[in-house]
Amino acid sequence: MSTMIHRLQSIIQEVGRSPDTQHALDLIAGRLIKDLVANACTIFLATNTEPPVLVLKASYGLNPENINQVQRRFGEGLIGVVAERAEPINLVNATEHKNFILVPDSGETSFPIYLGVPIVSHRKVLGVIAIQRAENAFNEDDEAFLATLAAQLATSIEHVESQGRFKLIGETKSEPTTHIVKGVAGSPGMAIGEAIVLNRGVKLESVPDKKVTDQAPELRSFNDAIRKVHDDLTDQADRMRGALPEEECALFVAYAQMLNSGSLIDDTHKRIGEGNWAPASWRDTVEDHACVFDQMEDEYLAERANDIRDLGRRVLRKLMLEQSPYIDFPDRTVLVGDEITATDLADVPLECLCAILSAHGSGSSHVAILAHALGIPAVMGMSNLPVKQMDGLQVIVDGYGGFAYVDPNRKLLTEYEKYLREEEEIEKDLLCLKNEPAITTDNHRISLYVNSGLMADHTPSLRSGAEGVGLYRTEIPFQIRDRFPSEEEQYHIYRNVLETFNGMPVVLRTLDVGGDKPLSYFPIKEANPFLGWRGVRITLDHPEIFVTQVRAMMRANIGQNNLQILLPMISGQSELEDSLKLIHRVKDEIEDELGEPLQMPQIGAMIEVPSAVYQIEDICSLVDFVSIGTNDLTQYLLAVDRNNENVAELFSSLHPAVLKAMCQIVEGAAKSGTPVSVCGEMAGDPLGVMALLGMKIESLSMSVGSLLKAKKVIKTFSLVELESMLAEAILMTDPAHVRELYASKLDQRELGGLIRAGK
């Protein structure tokens, strides 16, 4: 078994390093012949046409002239049967099968033993691999091996395909394309800008390619880095000599020798000569050398791959020290990375940042929410984003549809430039609504608030006519520090928001870390973080953190009296009771210190865990208001991780089950007259606004960029018609149909431009 895993891993690794799909497929065919002792191997890939056609892309043991010539429809021939049924076929007498078709001049007749497996990714058949033998039937192990390989290859093929299109270095640059890279919508809007790949220091695999014309400084800094690491290693060997046995010290000497080996240095010099900068040239050399050792069956030698990678990191660290950490950001920077984090945004001057593209993360992840707050488009979960090859390329970002064009051609640019102009017109029209109240056509007034967490949000929020802050995520100021902020620091942050929104309600949420919101200085390691220690569960276990925070909030409210406190992740009544006890204790303490009474702020609970939906009446008996967190409520009701791009398509706050749960919250809260607001992303989605109004929700809190769009929607419809749309939506079973229903109603009023590119 272990040899099977070893063989699989080594094939996948080689495929991962292939420069293009053709190379990868030839390699697989060759390896399968060897590993499964077969006589022939053919690989067909499906075209992107409708209907798709299977085209022979690689073959081993058959006539090579058939490549790209032989084609099969789904259902035609044995290959077509495997593709149509999307399941393996294992035959001992293939030539007698009714679907058998002989490839002309192939010599296929002599190989009656046949095993074909489909290559499937995300429910789509990408191709078929077939192997043949003259004798000895394929057994269960062979079948399992090929099926496992095909499943892993599906991802690699998709990846290599998209990377292969963007070769910048060492080959002539590919022509501008119309190639689309898909992801999930993270924040709406459109942008055309220049990709900047953030370079996060010392991870070899995340070093991006960078084209250089002047190679001399690259060679110089590389040679310097090698010399410095070599000196460090010999120093370390000398220092260790007293403390370690000679044998262990020898490791440092061996490292130093390995470093000076001609091929590591020569290969890197050659790559720099081809026009890549030193860190990426070094990255490729290290990976090439490490892979040679990876392939070795001998465990001792295979272990040397780790030594080479370790050396690689040491040299890279020195190289990176020489690179200025401050990039000269272009005016229209599109930040690109494997996993852009909330703190990465702080590295780019906000006036330059025009969009975000991230290979991982989903539409409801925190970086997407921040992008929304900043009013810039973001596309997340772009698993085929050619991150390393993108630095400096032009990109079109469509944050409505959740896709991007990398290095687009003139025709696409012209089209999107037109959309951008239309978008500007829409925004200009919306600005006229700034000072108007949000009232439905049948005179129902809706209150609109903003979600915040960054100081930078405040001015645009006030400018767009927000009536207060409906959700201030206090974890954001906690996340951008390297330790817990003191009571005094927190006091100033909260005081600033309360004063900025003087006379308007400001809802400060107590610390909601855990899950996908880490604090670098308070690491939590859990198998299931979303079901673990997060939100109020942490702050109740650490009353010192909670009490300090609530003290800072209440002190900041003295003389302001516009504070409301919101408790996150409430999953039961006792959490609420315990939190309230602590809040009252803080109030008593401050009153004692001041010697005068303090106004008690309103206290609310977030309804974002399914148990809270079913206990809504009990919860309402303890609080002044409730706020529905649709991001987490959707995540927990549908069992869809809000950050996992593999299931991002299943994440929908318009799912009829989510709508029903929200109706139940509204009905339950109405019994005690407890006000209900919504502060998840749904409240800022024009389609979500339509659904929420239909539930008679009168208070919405959203990212500032969504505010005027929401107001436009509210002013367009009557509550009566939105109620009847909701009644229709709730009877549907498929979230896509609910979306279509609301989108068609928006289109009928010519407001489709609020949810997609252009007018």
Shortest separation between residue 365's beta carbon and ligand PEP, angstroms: 9
The 503-522 site mask, x for binding ligand PEP (CB under 6 A), equals ---------x----------
Contact range with Mg ion by CB under 5 A, out of 313-321, 389-397, 450-458, 628-636: 628-636
Which one of 41, 354, 620, 679 is the catalytic residue? 679
CA dist 51 and 74 (Å) reads 9
User: For 140, how many CA atoms within 13 A lie in the half-sphere containing its CB?
Assistant: 1
Shortest separation between residue 437's beta carbon and ligand PEP, angstroms: 24
Among Mg ion, ligand PEP, none, residue 548 binds (CB under 5-8 Å by kind): none
Which one, of 684, 685, 703, 689, lies nearest residue 461 by Cα? 703
Among ligand PEP, Mg ion, none, residue 679 binds (CB under 5-8 Å by kind): ligand PEP
CA dist 137 and 231 (Å) reads 59
Name the packing angle between helices 2-16 and 21-35 (round to 10°). Answer: 160
The C-alpha angle with vertex 120 and arms to 117 and 125, in degrees rounded to 5, equals 90
Q: Based on CB atoms, which residue is closest to ligand PEP, 632 or 641?
A: 632
Q: Is 679 annotated in the active site? A: yes
Name the packing angle between helices 735-748 and 719-730 (round to 10°). Answer: 150
Interaction residues for ligand PEP, span 593-652 (CB under 6 A): 608, 629-632
Shortest separation between residue 672's beta carbon and ligand PEP, angstroms: 23
Query: Binding to Mg ion by residue 475, rule CB under 5 A?
Result: no
Q: Based on CB atoms, which residue is closest to Mg ion, 132 or 365?
A: 365
Q: Report residue 45 as tokens.
A: 């890939």
Q: Based on CB atoms, which residue is closest to ligand PEP, 125 or 576?
A: 576
CA dist 29 and 46 (Å) reads 17
Q: Are residues 469 and 461 in contact, defined by beta-carbon separation less than 8 angstroms?
A: yes
Q: Based on CB atoms, which residue is closest to Mg ion, 433 or 538?
A: 538
In the set 189, 279, 680, 684, which binds ligand PEP (CB under 6 A)?
Answer: 680
Q: Based on CB atoms, which residue is closest to ligand PEP, 369 or 390?
A: 369
Interaction residues for ligand PEP, span 148-187 (CB under 6 A): none
User: How many residues bind to ligand PEP according to rule CB under 6 A?
Assistant: 11
Among ligand PEP, Mg ion, none, residue 354 binds (CB under 5-8 Å by kind): none
Give me the sign of the Cα torsion angle 737, 738, 743, 749: positive
Strands 438-439 vs 403-406: parallel, antiparallel or unpaired: unpaired
DSSP string, 80-111: HHHHHHTS-EEES-GGGSTT--PPTTS-GGG-
Q: Which value, in Å, is the radius of gyration of the alpha carbons in the chain? A: 30
CA dist 371 and 377 (Å) reads 7
Shortest separation between residue 509's beta carbon and ligand PEP, angstroms: 8
Shortest separation between residue 660's beta carbon and ligand PEP, angstroms: 17
Shortest separation between residue 633's beta carbon and ligand PEP, angstroms: 7
Which one of 179, 360, 366, 458 is the catalytic residue? 366
Query: Binding to ligand PEP by residue 188, rule CB under 6 A?
Result: no
Contact range with Mg ion by CB under 5 A, out of 315-323, 519-527, 630-638, 647-655: 630-638
Among Mg ion, ligand PEP, none, residue 42 binds (CB under 5-8 Å by kind): none
521-543 CB burial, b ≥16 within 10 A, e <16:
eeeeeeeebeeeebbbbbbbeee
Distances (CA, A) of 37 to 90, 134, 136, 518, 696: 16, 10, 10, 50, 68
Q: Based on CB atoms, which residue is closest to ligand PEP, 277 or 494?
A: 494
End-to-end Cα, the chain, rounded Å = 58
Shortest separation between residue 535's beta carbon and Mg ion, angstroms: 7
The 569-608 site mask, x for binding Mg ion (CB under 5 A), equals ---------------------------------------x
Q: Based on CB atoms, which residue is closest to ligand PEP, 384 or 539?
A: 539
| 3-state SS class at 516 | coil
Contacts of 54 (CB under 8 A, 6+ apart): 44, 45, 46, 47, 71, 72, 73, 74, 79, 80, 83, 127, 128
Q: Based on CB atoms, which residue is closest to ligand PEP, 680 or 688?
A: 680
Q: Based on CB atoms, which residue is closest to ligand PEP, 91 or 662?
A: 662
Contacts of 42 (CB under 8 A, 6+ apart): 29, 56, 58, 59, 60, 62, 79, 129, 130
Q: Is 176 left (phi over 0), alpha (psi -120 to 50) or beta?
A: beta
Interaction residues for ligand PEP, span 355-374 (CB under 6 A): 369
Q: Based on CB atoms, which residue is closest to Mg ion, 371 or 566?
A: 566
Length of the chain: 759
CA dist 45 and 53 (Å) reads 8
Shortest separation between residue 641's beta carbon and ligand PEP, angstroms: 13
Residue with tokens 């991962």: 16
**In degrees to the nearest 10, what's the CA dihedral of 533, 483, 546, 680?**
-60
Q: Are residues 751 and 715 in contact, defined by beta-carbon separation less than 8 angstroms?
A: no
Shortest separation between residue 505's beta carbon and ligand PEP, angstroms: 16
Query: Binding to Mg ion by residue 629, rule CB under 5 A?
Result: yes
Shortest separation between residue 567's beta carbon and Mg ion, angstroms: 11
Query: Binding to ligand PEP by residue 679, rule CB under 6 A?
Result: yes
Shortest separation between residue 568's beta carbon and Mg ion, angstroms: 6
Q: Are residues 610 and 567 in contact, defined by beta-carbon separation less than 8 angstroms?
A: no
Q: Based on CB atoms, which residue is closest to Mg ion, 18 or 677?
A: 677
Interaction residues for Mg ion, span 607-626 (CB under 5 A): 608
Query: Binding to Mg ion by residue 632, rule CB under 5 A?
Result: yes
Interaction residues for ligand PEP, span 431-490 (CB under 6 A): 471, 473
Q: Based on CB atoms, which residue is closest to ligand PEP, 116 or 629?
A: 629
The dihedrals phi and psi of 215, each to the nearest 5 degrees, come to: -85, -20
Q: Report residue 373 as tokens.
A: 């707050």
The dihedrals phi and psi of 516, each to the nearest 5 degrees, come to: -95, 10
Q: Are residues 148 and 142 in contact, defined by beta-carbon separation less than 8 angstroms?
A: no
Shortest separation between residue 495's beta carbon and ligand PEP, angstroms: 22
Among ligand PEP, Mg ion, none, residue 645 binds (CB under 5-8 Å by kind): none
| 3-state SS class at 406 | strand
Which one, of 324, 343, 329, lies nearest residue 391 by Cα? 329
Among Mg ion, ligand PEP, none, residue 630 binds (CB under 5-8 Å by kind): ligand PEP
The 410-439 site mask, x for binding ligand PEP (CB under 6 A), equals ------------------------------
CA dist 554 and 557 (Å) reads 5
Positions touching ligand PEP (CB under 6 A) are 369, 471, 473, 512, 608, 629-632, 679-680
Active site residues per annotation: 366, 679
Positions touching Mg ion (CB under 5 A) are 608, 629, 632
